[in-house]
Amino acid sequence: MNRRRSHRIGRVLYMAKDEDKCLRYLRPLGVGTHPCLRSQPSHGVPPFLSLSTSTDLLPFSPLATIPDTAVWTVGALHDDDVEGLMPPREVCLTLLSPGANNALCDVFCLALYFALNVYRRASVWSKWQLQQISSASISCDDRIRAVEFFQLLSQHSLTPPLDLFLSMTEYTLTHSVRLSKDGRQLQKDGPSLSVMPLVDATLSKATTEANLVLQRCDAEGIQTLRRASPLLYTRHCQRRRSEDPGVWVLKTNKHVKKGEQLTLQQLF
């Protein structure tokens, strides 16, 4: 996690009476959300939590902003966030079972970090994640490799419960995106595995149902967007983000009807 990011909860800039309570978990990370966004359980199938809208929306309607400092990648993790328990990526690489794809190392690193965060800190980000996890849908091969990795790791350092690690492994596999080398666009098979707050609950492998797009926005564009759109922030997050030009904007790409599930195609 970037050192600039804090889990302190700032004062709310604007709070709609009917604002979705679950989405408030993302506010301390600097995520801005449209008041019409709603979350609901999606029982039985990933992502187990889905998003919809409480009103009809036109194409290219901004629904959320996600700052770079809220995007989780292996390179942005800090050991002190989980009390010195996070091993370096180089160590994790040595614990992969023979024949395992090195890309799994990033999955296991993020999953371990998320599991430690739940187990040791129970942050508001963890509360958001816990609504979306299940180890039941992880593939047999991935489960075997994850268990082998975990068993080897437990010989060298303190670890969270195995079930929690497996759940976070499944979460990372199904709720992550791939970014280009410069981190500025989604890219199939891109080099950077990333988990984005809010975006994680919209990802779908279906190509025909996607009604969202994710785009970059510069500092000038984000200030214009914030003035023109009723996005919800905390005051301290809005001040910090004005100094940070790296922001992702989640928009509709077609007409969306009230209650329709919001989905973004997952490129893998």
Give how far Cα 150 sits from Cα of 11, 122, 162, 165, Å: 40, 21, 7, 8
Cα–Cα distance between 66 and 26 in angstroms, integer?
10
User: Per-residue confidence at 101, pLDDT binned at 50, 70, 90?
Assistant: confident
> pLDDT tens digit string along 39-90?
988 765 555 788 999 999 999 999 999 999 899 999 888 777 777 788 888 9
User: Per-residue confidence at 19, pLDDT binned at 50, 70, 90?
Assistant: low
Which H or E element spans position 214? strand 212-217
**Token couple for 130:** 């816990």
pTM greater than the 0.75 cutoff: yes
- Burial class, 91, CB count within 10 angstroms (exposed 0-12 / middle 13-18 / buried 19+): middle
From its phi and psi, is residue 181 left (phi > 0), alpha (psi between -120 and 50) or beta? alpha
Q: What's the farthest any 2 CA atoms get from each other in the chain?
A: 54
